[in-house]
Amino acid sequence: MKSSFYRYSLALAGLGAAAMLAPSMPAQAAWEPTRPVEFIIPAGTGGGADQMARTIQGIVSKHNLMKQPILPINKSGGAGGEGFLDVKGSDGNPHKIIITLSNLFTTPLATGIPFNWKDITPVAMLALDEFVLWVNAEKPYKNVKEYIDAAKAANGTFKMAGTGAKQEDQIITEAVQKSSGAKFIYIPQKGGGAVAVQLVGNHVDSTVNNPIEAVSHWRGGKLRPLCVFDGQPMPHKEQVADGKAWSDIPTCKSQGLDMEYLMLRGIFTTPGASKEVVDFYIDLFKKVRATPEWEAFMKSGAFNTTFMTGDAFVKWVAAAEKTHMGLMKDAGFLAK
């Protein structure tokens, strides 16, 4: 990890650049998996992390990027705690990697299970997932201000649905409350797809779904995006629905909701993994990122395609942990 060669972020640098870099990997870093690589998913089947892991599996096998297959295994118990503890306990097994989402931070903080991201070895940040504030298209509010006014007028009966409890969706909800002064009832659901459908069916008033979870309903004219919880608008300029593109959605900050939140889609491996092992996986994911399938996947989910490895990634994760600590402390979500 001390290698300075990859110590920069390829933030939004385009996939071509990654493709050019990949073959320049030093040839002597010759570790290769000798048996199938277990790809732990600390979330259930069908969710965002699961979709990404299975897409990676498909890309690796289709383009023959690795001699051994990748085996996605869902270990979703205890809000992903099961998966993290499994990787933590597989000291020195190089044939195991894990895809992370925000529960890398939230699960140990909320449940008190004995785990911290420093227990496992960081490999790379694959992408960042955006969060968008959605409302039902039948509702009259067209922008954040009208929405917040309606929420205030509802006097604490405005319902926000999200995935899980004390996880990213609820953290964002808390931050929205704090920033706007409106009160919401947060209703936890099992998965992002179910959350979006609850909104389409008008059982709740708003959600903070990831783009990929709600895009189809947007295109079907059922949902309306109000703002994105990011520092700048999303870069994807292709038209998606009612003449709008992802890039047309304003940032929440510009609309007076002071909240930024991005979810890590990163890769970690087992504790004590050697530099050769980490380099192999970094190289593998660079190759994955250079495929057209990955590009299509990123576009369909309006992902933020920041890629980081090495120290830059470690720094990012450490900062994100701090942010989560603060947010969860403010919300009173820390385990007693």
Partner 1 sequence: MEEIFNLFHGFAVVLQPYNIMVMAIGILLGVIIGVLPGLGGANGVAILLPLTFSMSPTSAIIMLSCIYWGALFGGAITSVLFNIPGEPWSVATTFDGHPMAQQGRAGEALTAAFTSSFIGALFSVVVITLVAPLVASFALRFGPAEQFGVYFLAFASFIGLSKEPPMKTVAAMMMGFALGAVGLDQMTGQLRLTFGFTPLLSGFDFLIAVIGLFGIGEILLTMEEGLRFKGRAAVINPKVVWETWKTLPKFWMTYARSCVIGCWMGITPAGATPASFMSYGIAKRLSKNGRNFGNGEIEGVVAPETAAHAAGKAALLPMLALGVPGSPTAAVLLGGLLIWGLQPGPMLFIEHKEFVWGLIASMYMGNVFGLLIVLTCVPFFAAILRIPFPIIAPIILVFCAIGSYSVHNNVFDVMMMMVFGVLGYFLKKTNYPLAPLVLAIVLGDKAEESFRQSLLASQGSLGIFFSNGLVGTIMVLGFIALFWSLIQEAWSRFRPATAA
Partner 2 sequence: MSEESKATHPSGPSHRSVEIGVAIGLILFALIVIAGSLQVGVTWAADGPRAGFFPFYCGLFVLVASCINLYNAIQDPGGGLFAEWGQLGQVVSVVIPAGIYVALVPSLGMYVASALLIAVFMKWIGKYGWLMVAAVPVPVMIATFLIFEKWFLVPLPKGPLEEFLGY
Tokens encoding 328: 């969860």
Contacts of residue 172, defined as CB under 8 A and 6 or more positions apart, other chains included, come to 131, 162, 208, 229, 259, 261
19 or 185, CB closer to partner 2?
185
Nearest-approach distance from CB 34 to partner 2, in angstroms: 7
Which one of partner 2, partner 1, none is in contact with 254 (Cβ closer than 5 to 8 A by kind)?
A: none
SS3 state of residue 267: strand
Instruction: Judge contact between 180 and 173, C-beta under 8 A.
Output: no
**Which residues is 162 bridged to in the sheet?**
188
Provide the binding-site residues for partner 1, judged by CB under 8 A: 44-46, 50-51, 54-55, 57-58, 61-62, 71-73, 75-79, 81-82, 85-86, 110-113, 157, 159, 164-167, 170, 185-191, 193-194, 196-198, 200-201, 203-204, 212-213, 215-217, 219-222, 293, 296-297, 300, 333
Sheet holding 132-136, edge to edge: 184-189, 158-163, 206-207, 132-136, 223-228
Of residues 116 and 198, the one with the C-beta less far from partner 1: 198
Between 11 and 335, name the residue whose CB sits nearer to partner 2. Answer: 335
Whole-angstrom Cα distance, residue 88 to residue 323?
23
Q: Which does 153 bind (CB under 5 to 8 A by kind): partner 2, partner 1, none?
A: none
Total of residues contacting partner 2 (CB under 8 A): 8
Indicate whether 318 belongs to the interface with partner 2 (CB under 8 A): no
How many angstroms separate the CA atoms of 121 and 267, rounded? 9
If the CB atoms of residues 183 and 219 are measured against partner 2, the closer one turns out to be 183
Residue 267 Cα distances to 62, 152, 271, 319, angstroms: 20, 40, 13, 17
Site map 92..111 versus partner 2, x via CB under 8 A: --------------------
The least CB distance from residue 254 to partner 2, in Å, is 33
> Interface with partner 2 includes 35 (CB under 8 A)?
yes
The angle formed by the CA atoms of residues 316, 317 and 318, to the nearest 5 degrees, is 90
Q: What are the structure tokens assigned to 110, written together?
A: 């909320």
Return the sign of the alpha-carbon dihedral for residues 240, 242, 243, 248: negative
Q: What residue 82 binds from partner 1, partner 2, none (CB within 5 to 8 A, per partner kind)?
A: partner 1
Among 185, 245, 314, 331, binds partner 2 (CB under 8 A): 185
Residue ranges that bind partner 2, judged by CB under 8 A: 34-36, 38, 69, 71, 73, 185
